[in-house]
Amino acid sequence: QKEVEQDPGPLSVPEGAIVSLNCTYSNSAFQYFMWYRQYSRKGPELLMYTYSSGNKEDGRFTAQVDKSSKYISLFIRDSQPSDSATYLCAMSGMEYGNKLVFGAGTILRVKS
Amino acid sequence: EADIYQTPRYLVIGTGKKITLECSQTMGHDKMYWYQQDPGMELHLIHYSYGVNSTEKGDLSSESTVSRIRTEHFPLTLESARPSHTSQYLCASSPHMSSTNTLQETQYFGPGTRLLVL
């Protein structure tokens, strides 16, 4: 069983829709949770970072962590065609020497 | 945008050739990493370094080697390329943070090198 599970998609939505991207994980030792966005033929770039449980908002993006359910989410409001990319969740913790464990990524397509 | 560079961006090479993938960062970061990424799969850590003269193998077994002679430079070498090495290779770096509640594992990625071994 993978440590981090992420639905690969592709997820196709119309412009303006609210998008929900999710990851589940198995190890309760994870403390730091991140979302990366990766455009085609580019390296991943950090979108959101959260420590432990709770919500964090940045513009149209909201990251949510529920440690009791071992579940994290990224919400994108008013999605735009420029949001079309692969979204990778990643997590880390002291037990991992702060190395990152990644999900496989969800491909998102926002249609104009 | 992160100042981390990888060359070449694309490489097609024959089996048995020796290749070196270059990675440089101008941010003065102590930590550097090499990942392998295949379509639809997780990024797998193959090597990392916590500073000059420090190199460690990652979670994914790899026939590559790395060196860290300078802070800014972290090249990856394949002594004898094989078709199974065909993949995308991503380099990343992160700063050293001492506080436990700060962004201590923000990794900044380069654009990647796409390698095809024939």
Q: How far is A18 from chain B (nearest CA, A)?
A: 23
More confident residue, A54 or A39: A39
Confidence class for position A96, pLDDT limits 50, 70, 90 = confident
Residue B81 to residues A81, B89, B115, B117, Cα–Cα distance (Å): 39, 14, 10, 7
More confident residue, A98 or B57: B57
Residues of A in contact with B112 (CB under 8 A): 41-43
Whether B60 and chain A come into contact, CB under 8 Å, resolves to: no
Amino acid identity at A112: S
Q: How far is B100 from chain A (nearest CA, A)?
A: 9
* Mean pLDDT over each residue of chain B, to the nearest integer: 89
Determine whether the interchain pair B40/A42 forms a contact, defined as Cβ–Cβ distance below 8 Å.
Answer: no
Residue B101 pLDDT: 43
Residues B35-45, mean pLDDT to the nearest whole number: 91
